[in-house]
C-alpha cells in the first residue's frame, strides 16, 4: 500500500520521530495480539494479556485500538482510504472498473512476491471465530457504503441515484471474491507464485465480463 508520511513542525521540533515511535508501538501491539490469537483463539485472549506480552499498559492498547476486534483488522482503514483516493484520482481515460482491476492485480502481485503471510494469519484467526466472521461481513458492508459514496462523488451522480451503489458493490465484491480465492489457495498450501498465476486470468475474465456493461462508467475526463 502507498503510504504518505506528513512531517509537521511544532516549536521548531520535528514530530517525525514521535510519530514513528507511535507507529512502532501500534505495530508491536498488533503483531503480539495476532500471535496470541493464532495460538489460543481470539475469544481466549484478553486485552490484559496482550498488553503484558507487548510490554505496554492496557490503556496504551486502548489508546491505539477502540476494541479488541480492531487488533485483528488493523490496516483495513488504510486500504479503504487508498481505494477511495484511487477512485477520486484516476487518470483521464480510466474508468472505475480500471481502478478495481488494478487493485486486484496489485494484490496478486504482492502474493506472487511473497507478501502473503500477514493475510494468511488474519484469515486463520477470523475463520476460527464466528464473532470475527460477523464483524468482517459488517465491515465489508460499511466499506461498500463508503465506496458507493466515493463512486457517486466521482461520477457527479445525484444523491438519490442507485447506480453508484450498485456499481460500487459489484466491483467491491468482485475484488473480495478474488481476495477470498487467494486466501483459500494460501490456506491450502498452494505456492504463492503459482496461485497468483492461476488466479490472474480468472480475475481478468471477471473484469472483462463486467466491462461489457461498466467499462465506460465513470470514465475520467481529460484535464481542460
Taking the complete model, does pTM exceed 0.85, yes or no? no
pLDDT score, position 15? 52
Give the CATH number for residue 203: 1.10.357.10
3-state secondary structure of 10: strand
Whole-number pLDDT of residue 78: 85
The pLDDT score that the predictor gives to residue 218 is 77
- Cβ proximity of 150 and 88 under 8 Å: yes
* Cα–Cα dist 196/210, whole Å: 21
Contact 95, 216 (CB under 8 A): yes
Do both 151 and 195 map to the same domain?
yes
Same domain, 103 and 149: yes
Domain with 47 in it: 16-72
161 and 135 in a common domain: yes
Question: What is residue 130's predicted lDDT score, i.e. its pLDDT?
Answer: 92
What distances in angstroms separate CA 77 from CA 17, 29, 66, 117, one per listed residue?
Answer: 23, 17, 13, 19
One domain, residues 65 and 102: no
In CATH, what number is assigned to the domain containing residue 27? Answer: 1.10.10.60
CB within 8 Å of 49: residues ≥ 6 apart = 36
Strands (E), the chain: 9-10, 13-14
Judge if 23 and 47 occupy the same domain: yes
Q: What is the pLDDT of residue 75?
A: 82
Return the sign of the alpha-carbon dihedral for residues 183, 189, 195, 196. Answer: positive
- Cβ–Cβ contacts within 10 Å for residue 206, how many? 17
Q: Is the residue at 67 inside a domain?
A: yes
What is residue 14's three-state secondary structure?
strand
CA distances from 165 to 19, 143, 149, 180 (A): 36, 11, 8, 22
pLDDT at 41: 94
pLDDT in tens, the chain (224 residues): 222 222 222 333 445 888 889 989 999 999 999 999 999 999 999 999 999 999 999 999 999 999 999 999 988 888 899 999 999 999 998 999 999 999 999 999 999 998 878 778 888 999 999 999 999 999 889 999 999 999 999 999 987 899 999 999 999 999 999 999 999 998 899 999 999 999 999 999 999 999 988 777 777 777 66
* Confidence (pLDDT) at 12: 39
Amino acid at each position: 500500500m502507498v503510504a504518505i508520511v506528513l512531517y509537521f513542525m511544532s516549536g521548531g521540533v520535528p514530530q517525525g520521530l514521535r510519530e514513528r515511535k507511535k507507529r512502532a508501538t501500534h505495530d508491536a501491539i498488533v503483531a503480539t495480539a495476532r500471535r496470541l490469537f493464532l495460538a489460543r483463539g481470539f475469544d481466549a485472549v484478553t486485552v490484559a494479556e496482550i498488553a503484558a506480552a507487548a510490554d505496554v499498559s492496557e490503556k496504551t492498547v486502548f489508546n491505539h485500538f477502540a476494541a479488541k476486534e480492531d487488533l485483528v483488522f488493523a490496516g483495513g482503514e488504510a486500504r479503504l482510504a487508498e481505494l477511495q483516493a484511487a477512485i477520486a484520482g484516476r487518470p483521464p481515460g480510466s474508468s472505475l472498473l480500471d481502478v478495481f482491476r488494478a487493485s486486484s492485480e496489485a494484490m496478486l502481485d504482492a502474493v506472487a512476491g511473497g507478501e502473503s503471510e500477514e493475510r494468511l494469519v488474519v484469515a486463520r484467526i477470523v475463520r476460527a471465530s464466528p464473532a470475527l466472521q460477523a464483524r468482517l461481513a459488517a465491515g465489508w458492508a460499511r466499506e461498500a457504503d463508503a465506496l458507493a459514496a466515493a463512486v457517486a462523488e466521482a461520477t457527479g451522480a445525484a444523491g438519490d441515484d442507485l447506480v453508484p451503489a450498485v456499481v460500487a458493490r459489484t466491483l467491491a465484491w468482485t475484488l473480495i471474491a478474488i481476495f477470498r480465492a487467494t486466501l483459500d489457495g494460501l490456506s491450502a498450501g498452494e505456492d504463492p507464485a503459482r496461485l497468483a498465476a492461476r488466479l490472474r486470468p480468472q480475475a481478468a475474465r471477471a473484469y472483462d465480463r463486467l466491462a461489457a456493461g461498466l467499462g465506460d462508467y465513470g470514465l475520467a475526463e481529460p484535464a481542460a
